[in-house]
Amino acid sequence: MRNRLLLPNRFKLIGLLALIPFLALGIAVRFFDFGFSFLTHKSAWILNSVNGTSNITDFQNYTDEIALSGIIISLLLIAFSREKQEDEFISQLRLESLQWAVLINYVLLLIATWVVYQFAYIDVMMYNMLTVLLLFIIRFHILLWKNKYSTDHQKS
Amino acid sequence: MKNTIRVERAIHQMTQQELAEKIGVSRQTINAIESNKYIPSTVLALKIARLFQKKVEEIFILEEND
């Protein structure tokens, strides 16, 4: 009954270590307008969504694409790595956490839909790309910790 | 569903850790089963019964509301 969609346990640490620089890069891009100049390309094929024509000389900087991809891949590695002892009970905790995370994610999205408007809503959509994974990782590890704690601190 | 694993462990003088290692699960899993927070799969139930040399029904008992 092994879950074939999971990576070996060591990928969790790799994901955590990779998350730090990519998250820092993401924050730098998002809040400080940072961009590596060598990642700027003159692109002829960027479709202008406003008037439907392609803009022939547009400059595209790929720093934000790299930061977002790195954050998503790091979070996926953390979320989908096997625990040291991944048995059927741990698998159930994993599934319950995933269900919980999807539900909470959409509750938050629904609330945000009614309280955040216009350009600020784009921010909501942006953070929403990461919240399912984040909520899942947090929920799963809280459950793991709670079960470990109650096992270590029981009477008998 | 309730179970008598804690009793069986006491009879066999086995810790949760030892039982967990013998049937290849984590100690948290044994603890969760003993405190009725988790119902094990048929495979795991059979493994536990075989280890204690009992029938599954002697270790896992259905309750009224099951």
Q: Is there a domain that residue B64 lies in?
A: no
Residues from A contacting B (CB-CB < 8 Å) are: 1, 85, 87-90, 92, 144, 147-148, 150-151, 154, 156
Write the ipTM.
Answer: 0.90
Here the CATH number for the domain that contains residue B26 is 1.10.260.40
Print the domain residue range for B21: 2-59
Looking at per-residue pLDDT, the higher value among A51 and A67 belongs to A67
How many domains would you assign to chain B? 1
Give the residue from A138, A150, A131 showing the smallest Cα distance to A97. A138
Residues from B contacting A (CB-CB < 8 Å) are: 6, 16, 24-29, 31-33, 35, 38, 40-41, 43-44
* pLDDT at res. B51: 96
Residue of A2, A89, A90 best to disrupt the B interface, most CBs of B under 10 A = A89
Per-residue pLDDT of A102-141, as tens digits, reads 999 999 999 999 999 999 999 999 999 999 999 999 999 9
Q: Which residues of chain B make contact with A145, given a CB cutoff of 8 A?
A: none
Q: What is the mean pLDDT of chain B?
A: 94
Q: Which residues of chain B make contact with A9, given a CB cutoff of 8 A?
A: none
Q: Is there a domain that residue B65 lies in?
A: no
Alpha helix (H) ranges present in chain B? 5-11, 16-23, 27-34, 42-51, 56-59
Per-residue pLDDT of B22-36, as tens digits, reads 999 999 999 999 999
Place of tokens 């692109």: A43
- A92 and B24 within 8 Å at the Cβ level: the answer is no
Q: Is there a domain that residue B66 lies in?
A: no
- B31 and A151 within 8 Å at the Cβ level: the answer is yes
Q: What is the mean pLDDT of chain A?
A: 89
- Res. A4: pLDDT tops 90: no
Domain ranges of chain A: 1-82, 85-156
Per-residue pLDDT of A6-25, as tens digits, reads 999 999 999 999 999 999 99
